[in-house]
């Protein structure tokens, strides 16, 4: 059955950070837009809302986005949240997913199709490997909640191609265009939606010597890591001045994909 009202909830992952498109709100496209573009071809009365805001922790996503999402009477809801919590110095994963579980129950009770994610496996990253155990525990709790509410799961943990940095943005925190396209394909496949999306060509990564690698790392620390840490220390978020890209159900158009 075609979907008519799709609402996407979450943080930067769902907002589309890392997949730039200056013709769209917030200058982004992202996997959710790509999914919506396919779903729009299956019915004449399709609408898409994207309520995601970068930097939001899980409770922020639920507090700000759940009620507006339910008010739109969706027949498909996707939710990705929790990674920003896991990366904090302290996090109570049981309490966190308990709140998540309650929200998923509210969404599922409406009869809408519900899709959620596990977190990615950071085992291949020297930067995030230290919190791999947290990600693994979070994933088990999310899988349990998804089973309880009949949600479809995109198991990001098992998508091993994402250990290839060519799927990621230069900030090493967000997917790049190839990563967003690959995720759109995975979402559509998990939903059982026919499509003709193909993986994007992967960019070439330069082979760097030790000195060049050191300079590249220093640039990343200065431009990406240090601002991220500073925001955490000052209680700020990259999404403090950002609004939802599509707060109401929006009809896809031909010019930018959305109109």
In a domain, 172, yes or no: yes
Helix, strand, or coil (residue 226): helix
User: What CATH number did the domain enclosing 82 receive?
Assistant: 3.40.50.1110
Question: Does residue 204 belong to any structural domain of this protein?
Answer: no
Q: Number of structural domains, the chain?
A: 1
Count of CB atoms situated within 10 Å of the CB of 87: 17
Domain assignment present for 255: no
Specify if 61 maps to a domain.
yes
- pLDDT value, residue 227: 60
Name residue 78's beta-bridge partners.
8, 115
Angle subtended by helix axes 93-109 and 132-149, to nearest 10? 30
Q: What pTM, to 2 d.p., does this model score?
A: 0.88
CB 218 within 8 A of CB 35: no
Q: Which residues contact 12 (CB under 8 A, 6 or more apart)?
A: 18, 52, 54, 55, 173, 174, 238, 239
CA atoms of 72 and 52, how far apart (whole Å) = 15
Long-range contacts, stretch 158-161, CB < 8 angstroms, 24+ apart: 158/118, 158/121, 159/120, 159/186, 160/121
Which residue in this structure is represented by tokens 């996090």? 91
142 touches 82 (CB < 8 A): yes
Strands (E), 155-254: 246-250
Q: Is 258 contained in some domain?
A: no
> How many angstroms separate the CA atoms of 15 and 119, rounded?
16
Q: Which domain range does residue 138 map to?
A: 5-199+210-250
Q: What is the pLDDT along the chain (259 residues), one digit of tens a residue?
A: 899 999 999 999 999 999 999 999 999 999 999 999 999 999 999 999 999 999 999 999 999 999 999 999 999 999 999 999 998 888 999 999 999 999 999 999 999 999 999 999 988 776 778 889 999 999 999 999 999 999 999 999 999 999 998 999 888 789 999 999 999 999 999 999 999 999 999 987 776 676 756 666 556 555 655 565 555 555 666 666 789 999 999 986 543 444 3
Residue 140 inside a domain? The answer is: yes
- Is 88 within the bounds of a domain? yes
């Amino acid at each position: 059955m075609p979907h008519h009202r799709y609402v996407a909830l979450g943080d930067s992952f769902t907002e589309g950070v890392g997949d730039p498109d200056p013709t769209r709100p917030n200058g982004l496209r992202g996997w959710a837009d790509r999914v919506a573009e396919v779903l729009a071809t299956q019915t004449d009365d399709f609408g898409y809302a994207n309520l995601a805001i970068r930097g939001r922790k899980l409770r922020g996503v639920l507090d700000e986005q759940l009620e507006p999402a339910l008010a739109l009477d969706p027949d498909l809801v996707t939710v990705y949240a929790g990674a920003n919590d896991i990366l904090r110095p302290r996090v109570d994963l049981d309490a966190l997913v308990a709140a998540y579980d309650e929200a998923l129950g509210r969404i599922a009770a409406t009869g809408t199709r519900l899709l959620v994610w596990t977190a990615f496996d950071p085992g291949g990253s020297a930067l995030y490997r230290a919190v791999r155990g947290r990600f693994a525990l979070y994933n088990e709790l999310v899988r349990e909640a998804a089973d309880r509410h009949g949600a479809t799961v995109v198991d990001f943990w098992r998508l091993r191609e994402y250990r290839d940095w060519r799927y990621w943005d230069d900030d090493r925190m967000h997917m790049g265009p190839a990563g967003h396209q690959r995720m759109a394909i995975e979402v559509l496949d998990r939903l059982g939606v026919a499509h003709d999306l193909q993986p994007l060509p992967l960019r070439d990564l330069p082979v760097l010597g030790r000195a060049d690698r050191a300079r590249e790392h220093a640039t990343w620390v200065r431009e990406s890591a240090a601002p991220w840490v500073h925001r955490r220390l000052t209680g700020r978020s990259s999404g403090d001045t950002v609004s939802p890209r599509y707060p109401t159900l929006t009809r896809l158009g031909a010019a930018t994909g959305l109109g």
